Amino acid sequence: MPVAEKKPEASITPYEAAPGEEYMNEQQLEHFRQLLLEWKQDLMEEVDRTVRHLQEDANNYADPADRATQEEGFSLELRTRDRERKLLKKINETLEKIDEDDYGFCEACGVEIGIRRLEARPTATLCVDCKTLAELKEKQLGG
């Protein structure tokens, strides 16, 4: 999973479904809503830290090598924030799916994505089988 998509260690414990529990019931939906909101908050705090860092550490070095090093560092940070911006969009879309009661089901085939997969990747929109097929197709077309 790319760096920007790596879910931070949440303070929310993983959901343990009870035997026979209905899939994507209110408790499960609320669990994933809280997980996503916490993840979103962490990303927003990281954006704030980056802005402060860029403002505080923006020096006008006389040495071109020092300037280039600083600019490369800023560039890397901004690329990371851009990936996180895209992730924030995915998180918001996922929160909308939860609100619309359309969360946890594969967009391609309609089967349950599964609690364990959603714990690992709360923004997942495909079940493991469909995601595997999509990656194989991408590999064949791209390589």
The angle at the Cα of 90, spanning 2 to 13, to the nearest 5 degrees, equals: 75
Residue 127 labelled as part of a binding site:
yes
Residue 26 labelled as part of a binding site:
no
Q: What are phi and psi of 133, to 5 degrees?
A: -60, -45
Residue 106 labelled as part of a binding site:
yes
Q: How far apart are CA 114 and CA 128, in angstroms?
A: 9
Residue 136 labelled as part of a binding site:
no
The token pair that represents 26 in the structure block: 């209110």
Tell me the C-alpha to C-alpha distance, in Å, between residue 124 and each of 19, 21, 97, 105, 138. 23, 21, 11, 9, 17
- Per-residue buried b or exposed e for 82-103, using 16+ beta carbons within 10 Å of the residue's own CB: eebeebbebbeebbebbeeeeb
Q: How far apart are CA 122 and CA 39, in angstroms?
A: 10
Residue positions forming the annotated binding site: 106, 109, 127, 130
Residue positions forming the annotated binding site for Zn(2+): 106, 109, 127, 130
